[in-house]
Structure formats: structure tokens, C-alpha cells
Amino acid sequence: MANSAEAIKQRYGDPFNVVRALERAAAQGFETLTEDDFFMCKWLGLYTHRHEQGYFMLRTKQPNGFVTPEQLDTIAEIAEKQQKGYADITTRQDFQLHWVRHTEALQTLKRLEAVGITTRGACGDITRNVVGCPVAGVDREEILDAGPLALEVSNFFVSDPAYADLPRKYKISLSGCRTQCIHPEIQCLAFVGATRTVNGQTEVGFDVRVGGGLSTQPFISQRLNAFVKPQDVLEVARRVTEIWRDSPEYREKRHHARFKYLIHDWGVPKFRQALEERLGRKLDEAPADYQEPADAYRDHVGVHAQKQRGLYYVGAPVLVGRITSPQMHKVADLSRRYGDGKTIRLTNRQNILLLNVPEANVEKVLAALGEVGLSVNAHPIRRSVVTCTGTEFCKLAITETKARSRQVTEYLEKRVPLDEPLRLHITGCPNACAQYQVANIGLMGSKTKVDGQVVDAYDICVGGQLGSGAAFNHAIVRKVPATECAKRLEQLLLGFKRQRKERESFNAWCKRIGDQEVLRLLTEGAAHPLAEADEVPVPKVPESDGPVY
């Protein structure tokens, strides 16, 4: 028997018919929207706010993180009109806007469409934003420029209604970069740039990974051991998606309706056989010289020379991914004045890049970014922190995240000098929209009692990494009151600086000293030792579409 979500979709038919419900709500009132309507609004990138009736959170789709100055100005203007003046950059390289009134939702969608931004399929049981390396086409070390392919795949799935009803959300990455900055290990379907030698000639294409995902039960994707030529990418993506779409057993239990479970249940050999049957041919074997990169930290922040002679890209960290309207207008203006006037990109670390900046203009760009709080000379924590939406807007979150993450970051950058990248991810519930499991340090929202009062708390986890030896982190201490997290992390990081060996990474250091020593550093001198803090049960959070990831 299908789950309740499947019943809603069957009653609704074409998911994009929800436009009619929005038209009705604009004319007759927010209260005319039914639970079915609210569920289907996700196909247009709309979620209702946690606390405020009559408002939506709106997510865009920016394939491969591509943004133009005109689009960025439009996002900024919409944010200004809402009298809040900011947007959030997500880990899928797109924007989230808040405070979109139900009376203005359709007008907002039309305004976005006028500048080439769609929200179709930004949420819902459909292919989500196709992510890719944000410096595709300019990276000096890339295997191939996969940006045009990412656009092709995205446009295909957005435009074909045959792929608008999948068992659950479905995530594709497509990248030709060597360090795999787009995290293929946690994607449903990932095309990873690769090379092989055929008859003495080097051929470029993609290695394929399937079945990654996070949330309450995370999985590392597995290699399909297949080499796909660029011209075959769309066909392979279609056939993989059709297998997922046409597997009714994953429409029965909503909590089991993720592509990662299909791969886990079937195994790679069975899935590859099914894919080859759909394709009507055998897949080419993967290149024998394929190697996963080390756990490279690639945030693209700073000034970097492009493959195009005399041109540079400039990456600016956006603290907790929240970018203000003045900052967006400034970046758009800088692209026009000092760049090529058309190329801006978002990253999966919630930052923003300007591309194609002539060398003579780099210092002008850096100075102007610094004036609006987007200095590229940022502390490693400011560069690295990734956060979800939290209880400010998300109905499923357990804790507030954006303000807390800002407080933690500002505290640590004043007290802990670091000279190397460190991934710090802070998420408001087990759904892992901020991808906390792959971080060097991950904080996952919870609740506890302090002096009889229920307060926000976090589980502190260490040891996540991607690339060769990819693994999820693990909890060291649970239910740390949120007000104490900054101090606890300070103690941990200062201990790392004191005890580490030369060039020893944070994860290697944690493994060498052991969990008990990490625990001691995290709990020594705590204001409320966990043994004295009254714990409260955390409400069970259903695996959701999530407002960020």
C-alpha cells in the first residue's frame, strides 16, 4: 500500500497544477489552501514558514550554481521588498528567500522567471538542483568543463513531466574537477570527471557513483565501475532516474523512499544489470587508473588564477550562507564593472564567486568586497561554517542555527588562530540539511534541561571526511547546551593546536589521541556537565525534504 504522500500526488495529478491553488489563495485567502495544496507547493519551491501564517520560504534552482548579475539583483530586490533584506545560499548552490506573502507568491515566481530563474522542482519528489564545480570552465586543473552538461541535464528534467513524480527527492551532481569538490560521495547519482587511455589516446569522461545520501541514515555512494562519455551522460541519467521512478516498492514507506536505500537493497551488480537493460547495451568499464582524491578542502575562497590567461576568480565567504541585499547588489555591480558582467557562481559551501576578473581589477574587487563584509581574508572557521535554516523558519528543526552559528564563528575566530581549513557544520535536526556527518566537526541539534528549563543543545561529532577513506563523523558528547558550544569548541581546537604533530590533520589528530581525550577537551570546565544536566527526549523528526540540502 502506498504512503499518504503518494495518495496526495495521485489525487493531484500534475503537481504543477498547484498554481491554481496559489491563485485561489491570493484572491480568497491563505486559509483556502488545503494540506494537499501545501504538500504540492514544494514542486514550485515553496514551503510554509514555521511560525508565521501566510508566508512562504521560496527556493530557486541555479544549475551548477550559475548566476548572472541581473539575477542576483533580482533576488536582492525581492528580498528588499519583503522588508527583511536577505537571502540564504544553500548547499545545493541555490537561493532561499523568506517572507514571501501568499498574495505575492505567483508574482514573485513570474519575476524570477523573467530573468531566467526557475523554481520548478526546487523541492518535492523530483530531481533537485543539479550541482557542479562552481569554477567549471575556468579551473586550471579540471579534467573537463562539465558546466554545459549540468545545464543540459537540469533543463531536461525540469521540462519533462514524465520525471516529475519520483518516490522521493533525488539529487544529481556533475563535475569535471579533480578534487571532487561537489561531494559525489553523498549524492544519489554523481558523474565524476575521469580519464582513460584508449589506443594510446587519452579520453575524458565520467566515472559514475550511485546511492549516496545523509539524513537519519547516511550512506556513502558506491562506484558503478562504469565510464560514461560526455555525449552519453543525459541518457545514463535518464535511465537511472527511470529505474528509481519505476520501483513501486519505494513508494510504500515514506521513510524508506530514498534512492540510497534502493542501491543498498539491490547492490551495485544488480543495479548495473538493470541499468544496462534499460540502455540496451553494456556500460564501458571504469578507467583502471581512477583514484579518489585525498580529503581535499576546496572552498574556492580567495583569489585564484584561471586557465584563461590574465583572468582570475575571486571567492568571498558568506557567513552562515546569509547574504544581504546590499551585498548582492555590490557583487552584481562588481561583476559588471570589473569582471565580464555575466558570470557569478554559488558554491556548495554557501559562498559566492566572481569569475573572469582581469588581473588589473583584482585589488579593486577585494577592496569593494571588504567594504560590504565579504572580505576574502577570512578566518578558516568563517570560511568553512555551513548551517541549515533552523527553527527560525523550518517546521522540522529542533534548534535555532543561523544566529548560533554566527555567534560560534565570531567567538572562535577571535580566540583560536588557525592556519588551515577546517569543516564546521551546524544542523538543527537529524535530517542533516547542513551535512554535519561529513564535517571535521559536526553539531546536530537536540534539547536538554538546564536548571529545570528546556534549552537548545547540540551533539558534538568529530572525524568526518570525504575522498579517499570517506567516512562519517561520530558523536563524542551529546546534548551540550547551545550557549556552551563555542567555549567547548575553543577548548578542543586549542588542544589540537597544542598537541598536533607537524602537518597533522584535525581528523588524524582526533584518531591518534582517541575519543576519551577528545571528550576530556570538550567537557573540561563545562558550566553544566552533562551528568548534572537534566536531559529531555528529543521529538522524533521524520526524514523530510529539508529546507536546505
Q: What is the pLDDT of residues 389-426, one digit of tens each?
A: 999 999 889 999 999 999 999 999 999 999 888 999 99
Where do runs of H (alpha helix) occur along 170-258? 233-245
pLDDT at 218 over 70: yes
Under CATH, what is the fold of the domain 147-285?
Sulfite Reductase Hemoprotein; domain 1 (3.30.413)
Q: Classify domain 304-376 by CATH number.
A: 3.90.480.10
> How much is the average pLDDT of 23-46?
96
Name the pLDDT band for 264 (thresholds 50, 70, 90): very high
Match domain 383-535 to its CATH number in 3.30.413.10, 2.20.28.270, 3.40.50.1100, 3.40.47.10: 3.30.413.10
Over the stretch 226-262, which tens digit does the pLDDT of each residue have? 999 999 999 999 999 999 999 999 999 999 999 999 9
pLDDT of 53 > 90? The answer is: no
Task: Give the pLDDT confidence score for residue 533 in this predicted structure.
Answer: 46
- State the Cα–Cα distance between residues 225 and 277, nearest whole angstrom: 16
pLDDT in tens, 326-342: 999 999 999 999 999 99
Q: Identify the CATH assignment for 4-114 out of 3.30.540.10, 3.90.1150.10, 3.90.480.20, 3.40.980.10.
A: 3.90.480.20
* pLDDT for position 290: 75
pLDDT at 487 over 50: yes
The predicted model gives 514-540 an average pLDDT of 72
The chain-wide mean pLDDT, for the chain, equals: 93
Quickly state the pLDDT bin for 296 (edges 50, 70, 90). Answer: confident
pLDDT tens profile 356-382? 999 999 999 999 999 999 999 999 999
pLDDT, mean of residues 183-199: 95
**Do 147-285 and 383-535 show the same overall fold?**
yes
Distance CA 511, CA 509 (A): 5
Percent of the chain with pLDDT over 90: 87
Hey, what's the cell of 189?
Answer: 547519482
Residue 548 pLDDT greater than 50, yes or no: no
pLDDT at residue 547 in the model: 46
In the chain, pLDDT over 70 holds for what percent of residues?
95
- Alpha carbon of 448 to those of 150, 237, 315, 421, 520: distances in Å? 44, 44, 38, 31, 20
Q: Please report which helix (H) or strand (E) contains residue 369, including its range.
A: helix 362-371
In three-state secondary structure terms, 59 is strand
CA 88 – CA 70 distance, rounded (Å): 18
What are the boundaries of each domain within the chain? Answer: 4-114, 147-285, 304-376, 383-535
DSSP 8-state symbol, 538: P
